[in-house]
């Protein structure tokens, strides 16, 4: 692919199918608008799938893992060895997203983009080895241009594998010690916000740890200020391998015509990166939940996103998005299987 594939045209939404779905919603045996957001998401999916009655039958979960050099600055409560240990847990079936993918009958594609602690080849994991984690962005760029491009491509390739299996919904997940720091730094740069507005406890920092994380991010923003002219440069200097892969996946979804269900804070920041790289991809993104990280709500507001759930989640891995899949499926079932007033011989309210 050409080196700026992410700027290529996104698939158009089928406005006729969306209009047909909207008309159907108005004829179902219920007061208009009484199913709230479930009605809106069914109409949205109709436009994305190009059919009046959408359905979600085969979700595909792409789980991207990578480590972060900024952990050297003491921004995480956990050691980086956990990233590799969790990769083993994902493919052995013991992680939350492993359980959820089994329950949903979803494909689970686990991609190791580069861990700080060397790993043996793990059955069921795609080892891309872009580096032993990113560079410490408090001191240097997180990624080289080549690493950033390769990570974006890894996300696109994951979506292609899903499409080949007949996937009709993509969920991106992430694993990487230190990635809430990278996500917060990216969001600060893209939204022109101070670190204190976006930094949270991540995997469990106390108030002092959160303040330190904010200080590290502010220092990094000053260090890279002259290099943050466009969203690709922001991603390269402040991002992570897995965040870039997520952004590439969301862009790939929009170009290949697959709906994407975005998970929590880190995935939402990756979605923000994707939208800044190619604004037309926004139409293909649905948002699963508003998580517990304080910056998540700001990112969702910037994306004009209406999340489906608010459960105080902060696990990552794509778990919140996986939890929202049954809600999407039920929205489609209600839309497609409820009777119309005419079919049920029920009186509608007078026009």
Residues in Cβ contact with 8 at an 8 Å cutoff, skipping those fewer than 6 apart: 255, 278
Strand partners, 60: 107, 170
Gap between the Cα atoms of 285 and 294, Å rounded: 21
Residue 278's alpha-carbon distances to 86, 150, 256, 291, in angstroms, are 32, 18, 14, 25
Six-digit token string for 88? 């083993």
Six-digit token string for 91? 């493919």
Number of H helices, E strands in the chain: 13, 6
Which has the closest alpha carbon to 314: 214, 164, 183, 155? 183
Strand partners, 262: 287
HSE at residue 59, side-chain half, CA atoms within 13 A, is 30
**In this structure, are residues 60 and 162 in contact, taking their beta carbons and an 8 Å threshold?**
yes
- Residue 150, judged by CB atoms within 10 A of its CB (0-12, 13-18, 19+), counts as buried
Q: Parallel, antiparallel, or unpaired: how do β-strands 125-127 and 169-175 relate?
A: unpaired
**In this structure, are residues 340 and 306 in contact, taking their beta carbons and an 8 Å threshold?**
no
Which residues are designated catalytic?
Answer: 317
Gap between the Cα atoms of 248 and 270, Å rounded: 9
Gap between the Cα atoms of 268 and 12, Å rounded: 22
Q: Please enumerate, as own/partner, the contacts of 125-131 that have beta carbons within 8 Å and a separation of 24 or more.
A: 125/87, 125/90, 125/91, 128/154, 130/66, 130/154, 130/241, 131/241
């Amino acid at each position: 692919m050409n080196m700026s594939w992410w700027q290529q045209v996104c698939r158009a939404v089928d406005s006729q199918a969306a209009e047909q779905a909207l008309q159907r919603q108005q004829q179902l045996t219920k007061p208009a608008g009484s199913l709230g957001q479930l009605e809106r998401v069914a109409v949205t999916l109709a436009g994305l799938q190009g059919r009046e009655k959408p359905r979600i039958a085969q979700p595909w979960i792409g789980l991207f893992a990578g480590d972060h050099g900024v952990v050297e600055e003491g921004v995480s409560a956990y050691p980086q060895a956990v990233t590799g240990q969790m990769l083993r847990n994902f493919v052995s079936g013991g992680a939350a997203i492993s359980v959820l993918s089994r329950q949903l009958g979803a494909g689970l594609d686990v991609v190791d983009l580069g861990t700080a602690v060397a790993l043996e080849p793990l059955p069921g994991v795609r080892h891309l080895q872009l580096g032993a984690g990113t560079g410490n962005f408090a001191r240097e760029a997180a990624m080289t241009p080549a690493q950033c491009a390769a990570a974006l491509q890894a996300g696109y390739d994951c979506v292609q594998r899903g499409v080949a299996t007949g996937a009709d919904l993509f969920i991106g997940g992430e694993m990487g010690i230190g990635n809430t720091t990278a996500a917060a730094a990216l969001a600060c740069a893209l939204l022109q916000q101070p670190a204190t507005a976006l930094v949270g406890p991540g995997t469990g920092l106390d108030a002092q740890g959160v303040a330190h994380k904010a200080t590290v991010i502010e220092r990094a923003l000053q260090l890279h200020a002259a290099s943050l002219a466009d969203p690709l440069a922001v991603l390269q200097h402040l991002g992570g391998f897995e965040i870039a892969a997520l952004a590439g996946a969301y862009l790939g979804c929009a170009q290949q015509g697959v709906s994407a269900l975005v998970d929590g804070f880190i995935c939402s920041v990756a979605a923000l990166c994707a939208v800044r790289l190619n604004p037309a991809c926004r139409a293909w993104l649905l948002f699963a939940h508003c998580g517990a990280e304080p910056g998540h709500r700001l990112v969702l507001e910037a994306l004009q996103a209406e999340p489906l759930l608010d459960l105080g989640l902060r696990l990552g891995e794509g778990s919140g998005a996986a939890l929202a899949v049954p809600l999407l499926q039920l929205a489609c079932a209600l839309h497609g299987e409820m009777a119309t007033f005419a079919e049920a011989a029920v009186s509608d309210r007078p026009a």
